[in-house]
A = this chain, B = another copy of it.
C-alpha cells in the first residue's frame, strides 16, 4: 500500500472514502430518513445494483442511458448497467413484482447509484439516494403528501425548516410550448427561458410571448406566484398544467403551513422522465439540491416521488452529538460492558496493560480519544 500513500489519484475522480465520523453521520441521517418514510407507510424495497441494460434503461430510464456504466455479464452474455438512479427500478418493481397490491402503493428505498460523469458541483460519481414513491393516486393531495413526508424526514435529520425551501415547477408547460415552436426559433427561446430574460423571451416567443413572459414573471414565493398565475390568460392546451400547478401549490401550503414554497413555472432543467409537477429542495446553508422529485409514469400508472441526497442533507443539517467513549480494561466482563452500552457509552479496550494510577488511566483515555474511563466500578469523566 506504500505506493498509494503519496498518490493523489488513489481513488477514481468522484469516488470517496467516508472516514469515521463522516460515515457514522451518514448512516445515522439515512436511518432517520428511512424511519420517517416507514412511519408514513412507505415500505422499503431493495432493487439490485446492476440490471440488464434493456430493463434498467428502458422507459423512464432511457433518459439516464448516457450516465450508466455498462458491464458485460459473462453468464448470460447480455449487457448489464450499473444503476445511475433508483426511481426506474422502483417503478419496475411496482409494476412487475407488486402489481397486485392495493393502491396507493407506497415504497421507500435507499442505496448507492453510480454515474459516468459528474452531475453536481461536488462532482461525486457515486451517490447515496434515499427516496419515496407514491404510486397510484394522481392528485394535488398526493403531491402534498410527498412534500409533507419529505419535510418530516428533513426535520428528523436535523434540518432547520426555516432554512429550507421547496421549489415546484411544471416542466411540461415549457416542453409543450417548445414543441410547437418553429425549429429555427427554438434554441434561442430555450436559452431565453433558461436565462429568465423577459426581453429575449418576448422577442423569440412568437404567439406565446405574452404567456411565456407572464409565466416567467409569475416565479417566486408561492403567494406572489399564485396571484400572478391565476390572472394569466392560458390557452386551453396548457390550462390543465397551470391549474394543476396552482392546485398542488395550494394543497402543499395547506398541508405544510410553515413551509417556504416557491413556484417556478418555466423551470425545466434537470427533469427528464417527469410528466407533471416537479419539486426541488434547497437549503440556505448550501448551494446544492437536497432532493429532487416529481410526477412520472410507473408503467401505465401515475406516480409521484422524491429522492433525497443524504450527503447533501447532512451538510445542511445541525451536527449531531456523538456517543461518549469510555476507556475500559481489556478484562472487563461483558455484563459490565453491556451496562455501559445501555447507558449510551461506546466502550474502548486499549489492548494494553491497565495503568496502576488514575493519572495513567487518564493519559491512556486521552490517547484513545475517550473522555471517560472505567474507575472504581463505573464510567467516570477522565479528560
Listed in ascending order, the chain A residues whose CB lies under 8 Å from chain B are 1-2, 4-5, 9-24, 26-27, 31, 34, 38-41, 43-52, 55, 58-59, 69, 71, 73-76, 78, 80, 82, 91-93, 95-99, 102-104, 106-107, 109, 111-112, 114, 116-117, 126, 136-137, 139, 141-142, 145, 148, 152, 255-256, 299, 323, 325, 330, 334, 337, 341, 345-351, 367-369
A-B contact pairs, 15 of them (CB 8 A): A1-B58, A1-B92, A1-B299, A12-B73, A12-B78, A20-B107, A41-B349, A49-B49, A49-B114, A71-B71, A71-B82, A74-B116, A102-B367, A104-B351, A145-B349
A38 touches B17 (CB 8 A): no
Rounded to whole Å, the gap between the CB of A318 and the closest CB of chain B is 20
Interface pair A71/B69, CB less than 8 Å apart: yes
Contact across chains for A46 and B26 when beta carbons are under 8 A apart: yes
Question: Contact at B141–A330, with CB atoms within 8 Å?
Answer: yes
Shortest distance in angstroms between A248's beta carbon and chain B's nearest beta carbon? 14
Q: Is the CB of B348 within 8 A of A10?
A: no
Closest residue of B by beta carbon distance from A151: B334
Residues of B with C-beta under 8 A to A96? 1, 4-5, 10
- Let me know if B351 and A49 touch, CB within 8 A: no
Stoichiometry (number of copies) = 2
Instruction: List the 4 shortest-distance A-B pairs measured between CB atoms, nearest first.
Output: A20-B43, A15-B48, A18-B46, A23-B46
B-chain residues with CB within 8 Å of residue A145 when the two chains form the complex? 349, 351
Could you tell me the distance between the alpha carbons of A112 and B114 in the complex, rounded to whole angstroms?
13
Tell me the complex Cα distance, A225–B279, Å.
65
Q: Which of B4, B15, B38, B325 contacts A323 (CB 8 A)?
A: B38
Given B40, B55, B73, B255, which contacts A10 in the complex, CB threshold below 8 Å? Answer: B55
> Chain B: which residue is nearest A144 at the CB level?
B330
A97 to B76, CA, bound (A): 39
User: When chains A and B are docked, how far (Å) is the Cα of A91 from the Cα of B30?
Assistant: 25
Rounded to whole angstroms, the CA-CA distance of A325 and B5 in the bound complex is 52
Partner of A139, one of B99, B139, B348, B351: B351
Taking the nearest CB of chain B, how far is it from the CB of A142, in angstroms?
6
Report if A2-B299 is in contact (Cβ < 8 Å); known contacts: A9-B76, A12-B80, A139-B351. yes
Shortest C-beta distance, A355 to chain B (Å), equals 15
Given A38-B346, A114-B49, A351-B139, also A98-B19 (CB < 8 A): yes
In the complex, A336→B149 CA distance in Å? 14
Tell me, rounded to whole Å, the shortest Cβ–Cβ distance linking A275 to chain B. 15
Extra A-B contacts (17), CB below 8 Å, given A11-B48, A21-B43, A31-B31: A1-B95, A4-B96, A10-B55, A12-B51, A15-B48, A17-B45, A17-B46, A17-B97, A19-B97, A38-B323, A39-B345, A40-B341, A49-B126, A75-B117, A102-B367, A103-B351, A141-B330
Residue of B whose beta carbon sits closest to that of A345: B39
Residues on the B chain within 8 Å of A141, using CB: 330, 351
A352 to B292, CA, bound (A): 27
CB distance from A190 to the nearest CB of B (A): 28
